[in-house]
Amino acid sequence: MTTLDPRPESLPQRVAESIQRDKPFSEDERDRMKAVMNSLLLHIHASKVPARSLKFTYTFGLGGLSLLLIMMLIVTGIMLMFVYTPSPDSAYTDMLALQSTVAFGQLIRNLHHWSGNLLLVVVFLHMLRVFYTGAFRHPREFNWVIGVGLLLLVVMANFTGYLLPWDQLAYWAVTVGTSLLDYVPVVGEQISLLILGGPEVSGATLRNFYGLHLAIVPMMILMIVSVHIFRVRRDVGTVPRNLDEEPLKRLEKVTTLPHLVSREAVFAIVMIGLILLWSTWVNAPLEEAANPDHSPNPAKAAWYFMGLQELLLHFHPFFAAIVIPALALGGLMMLPYLRTDMDTEGVWFRSRMGRKLAWIGFFTGLIATPLLVLLDEYVVNLPDLLPSLPTIISNGWVPLAGILLLLILYAGMLKRVFHAASCEVRQSVFTLLLTGFIVLTIIGIAFRGEGMALMWPWEV
Ligand code: HEM
Ligand code: HEM
């Protein structure tokens, strides 16, 4: 029997019947459908949220935007799969086909390219918003660590995607990027051989990157994002407040539906519109086909690795590629576990003093980083000054110890002069290092030309 039961029991059957009858839904049917939708949403959100956590300038919607971009990447990525073949003979011609013969091919590629790059920026900004509003405090420490893992995965997704167009940009950026692995002690060479599928970037690398890019990395992102969102819900989102004076229970609450969900929907629609508009006007870059025999000068890494490439010009490679990134990552993961003396949560920059010290950190990083780069480039050459020492010491341990000492002096000075709390001093040091990293990345991208020599952006 395929005809519908006159009094169907289940809601889907009744909905199907209602559509077949071309009759509006009854009051009861509407209520039940609403209940299904609500309980779906209430898996992600609590039924009520504190009114003040809805303020846009608190989160800037950055976590939600990251989720939206991931969904857009999956949809556009699957569309690209229909056209793209991961082989050196066809990858580049597939890109040309996307630009010319495939209907909406250029737009889909642009959407995927810009969403991927934007995701990296948005996830990074989301991390900064969590840090600067102190939203990593207990009980969210572990979710912060999960977040750092997500940031690394998003970098990996972008990096493995970078090679796929198989043009000169892709080939040489991945050659430079993967050469960093050679500096990993003991296992570096083996890992490099495994990932590249041989001694250099080749068809085997393209196939490996394709597998990583389409299956392994997105699957890991999806799994870990699910845990991340589950923890956000379970740990109860941070609410901007003074911890001593405003207990959570006393704050005014509003229902998630419609207050939060309607805002999320409007934000998502506006963002999709803006990304579509941008992708209609600005094409993803494509250079000539990859040529392993002709290296461009300078051969630069992907933009998000330019800070590291710049460090390589100043430190012994083992320090630039391994020790400093490992210290930075370790420090980032440990941040929420350090003793905290904050008396606010969810408040941007913690306090008035916190904001002032963050500005000081910013300006110190902005001035000190270019000065140190110029000093190292034109004035001081540590290996020449300390010829009796191996370069791993003279150009590794020595400058690193010098910088750490300067940071300790900086933190001590802030504490003494401003009588600041530890969390405010820590925030200032974080801002200084963050600004330093961004300045190094900008120098690498815009101020390095032929032979990686320093020059003005218009000469590069
Ligand atoms: C976080 C997730 C992802 C990120 C950040 C990302 C990023 C990228 C980037 C930056 C490119 C190079 C685009 C270009 O310049 O042409 C790319 C290419 C590609 N991606 Fe993804 N992607 C993601 C997920 C996916 C998924 C889930 C799929 C498929 C199921 C996919 C399929 C592809 C394909 C087929 C290409 C080659 C075509 C092309 O380069 O336009 N991607 N991806
Ligand atoms: C793919 C990457 C990511 C996605 C999709 C994502 C998604 C989200 C969403 C939707 C929220 C709740 C809304 C909001 O606060 O904006 C959130 C909160 C949070 N995220 Fe992420 N996130 C990602 C990466 C990160 C990173 C890199 C970190 C830090 C290293 C991080 C740490 C946190 C923490 C601690 C919270 C709780 C904040 C609070 O309670 O106010 N997340 N995330």
| pLDDT tens per residue, range 198-233 | 999 999 999 999 999 999 999 999 999 999 999 998
- Whose tokens are 């039961």? That residue is 5
Residue ID of nearest Cα to ligand 2 atom 8: 63
- Residues 409, 415: Cα–Cα separation, whole Å: 10
155: which residues sit within 8 A by CB, 6+ positions away?
120, 304
- Residues 122, 68: Cα–Cα separation, whole Å: 11
Bridge partners of 49, per DSSP, are 254
Bridge partners of 345, per DSSP, are 241
16 confidence band (pLDDT: 50, 70, 90): low
How large a percentage of the chain has pLDDT more than 70?
93
Asked if pLDDT for residue 12 goes beyond 70, the answer is no
For residue 63, how far is its CA from the centre of ligand 2 (angstroms)? 5
446: which residues sit within 8 A by CB, 6+ positions away?
457, 460
Asked if pLDDT for residue 426 goes beyond 70, the answer is yes
**3-class SS at 255?**
strand
Mean pLDDT throughout 24-31?
Answer: 75
- Ligand 2 pocket (Cβ < 6 Å) reads 59, 62-64, 66-67, 123, 126-127, 130, 135-136, 140, 143-144, 147-148, 150-151, 154, 225, 228-229, 232, 237-238
- Residues 414, 418: Cα–Cα separation, whole Å: 6
User: What is the model's pTM?
Assistant: 0.91
For residue 237, how far is its CA from the centre of ligand 2 (angstroms)? 10
Count of other CB atoms within 10 angstroms of residue 251: 15
Instruction: Answer whether 286 contacts ligand 1 (Cβ < 6 A).
Output: no
Q: Which two tokens stand for residue 230?
A: 């589950």
Asked if pLDDT for residue 423 goes beyond 90, the answer is yes
Ligand nearest to the CA of 58: 2
Closest approach atom of ligand 1 to CA 80:
35
Q: Tell me phi and psi for residue 12, to 5 degrees.
A: -55, -40
* Average confidence score pLDDT of the chain: 92
Q: Tell me phi and psi for residue 6, to 5 degrees.
A: -60, -30
User: What digits encode the pLDDT tens for the residues 85-119?
Assistant: 999 999 999 999 999 999 999 999 999 999 999 99
Mean pLDDT throughout 353-378?
Answer: 97
**3-class SS at 394?**
helix
For residue 161, how far is its CA from the centre of ligand 1 (angstroms)? 5
- Residues 356, 174: Cα–Cα separation, whole Å: 41
What confidence score (pLDDT) does residue 269 get?
Answer: 98
Mean pLDDT throughout 131-138?
Answer: 94
Give the helix/strand (H/E) hosting 345: strand 344-345
- Residues 147, 139: Cα–Cα separation, whole Å: 14
What confidence score (pLDDT) does residue 4 get?
Answer: 47
Please name which of 148, 111, 114 lies closest in space to residue 128, comparing C-alpha atoms: 148
What confidence score (pLDDT) does residue 45 get?
Answer: 86
For residue 175, how far is its CA from the centre of ligand 1 (angstroms)? 19
For residue 148, how far is its CA from the centre of ligand 2 (angstroms)? 10
Q: Which long-range contacts (CB under 8 A, 24 or more apart) does 255-261 make?
A: 255/47, 255/48, 256/41, 256/42, 256/45, 256/46, 256/47, 256/48, 256/49, 257/38, 257/41, 259/49, 259/51, 259/54, 260/45, 260/49, 260/54, 261/41, 261/45
47 confidence band (pLDDT: 50, 70, 90): confident
Ligand nearest to the CA of 81: 1
Ligand nearest to the CA of 62: 2
For residue 363, how far is its CA from the centre of ligand 2 (angstroms)? 28
**3-class SS at 348?**
coil
What confidence score (pLDDT) does residue 15 get?
Answer: 59
Mean pLDDT throughout 392-417?
Answer: 96
Q: What is the dihedral of CA 313, 431, 359, 356, to 10 degrees?
A: -150
For residue 401, how far is its CA from the centre of ligand 1 (angstroms)? 40
For residue 127, how far is its CA from the centre of ligand 2 (angstroms)? 7
Please name which of 378, 380, 379, 374 lies closest in space to residue 439, comparing C-alpha atoms: 374
Count of other CB atoms within 10 angstroms of residue 356: 16
Residue type, 240: P
Asked if pLDDT for residue 43 goes beyond 60, the answer is yes
2 confidence band (pLDDT: 50, 70, 90): very low
Instruction: Answer whether 213 contacts ligand 1 (Cβ < 6 A).
Output: yes
First to last CA, the chain: 75
Q: Which domains does the chain have, with CATH numbers?
A: 61-245+255-292 (1.20.810.10), 313-460 (no CATH)
Ligand nearest to the CA of 119: 1
What confidence score (pLDDT) does residue 459 get?
Answer: 87
Residue ID of nearest Cα to ligand 1 atom 33: 77
5 confidence band (pLDDT: 50, 70, 90): very low
User: What digits encode the pLDDT tens for the residues 137-153?
Assistant: 989 999 999 999 999 99
Instruction: Answer whether 420 contacts ligand 1 (Cβ < 6 A).
Output: no
178 confidence band (pLDDT: 50, 70, 90): very high
Q: At what angle do helices 11-21 and 27-44 cross, to 10 degrees?
A: 130
What confidence score (pLDDT) does residue 19 get?
Answer: 57
Pair 423, 410: CB distance under 8 Å: no
Of 197-206, 337-346, 407-416, 424-433, which range is least confident? 337-346
What confidence score (pLDDT) does residue 395 get?
Answer: 94
Asked if pLDDT for residue 165 goes beyond 60, the answer is yes
Q: What is the CA radius of gyration of the chain?
A: 26
Q: Which two tokens stand for residue 338?
A: 């350090």
Q: Which two tokens stand for residue 292?
A: 């392993």
Choice from 49, 117, 125, 130 to test ligand 2 binding pocket (greatest atom count within 8 A of CB): 130
- Whose tokens are 């801002």? That residue is 431
Instruction: Answer whether 180 contacts ligand 1 (Cβ < 6 A).
Output: no
Count of other CB atoms within 10 angstroms of residue 282: 11
For residue 41, how far is its CA from the centre of ligand 2 (angstroms)? 18
What confidence score (pLDDT) does residue 14 get?
Answer: 63
Of 73-77, 165-169, 179-183, 375-379, which range is least confident? 179-183
Helices (H) and strands (E) in the chain, counts: 20, 4
Ligand nearest to the CA of 160: 1
Of 245-249, 296-300, 362-366, 373-377, which range is least confident? 245-249
13: which residues sit within 8 A by CB, 6+ positions away?
4, 5
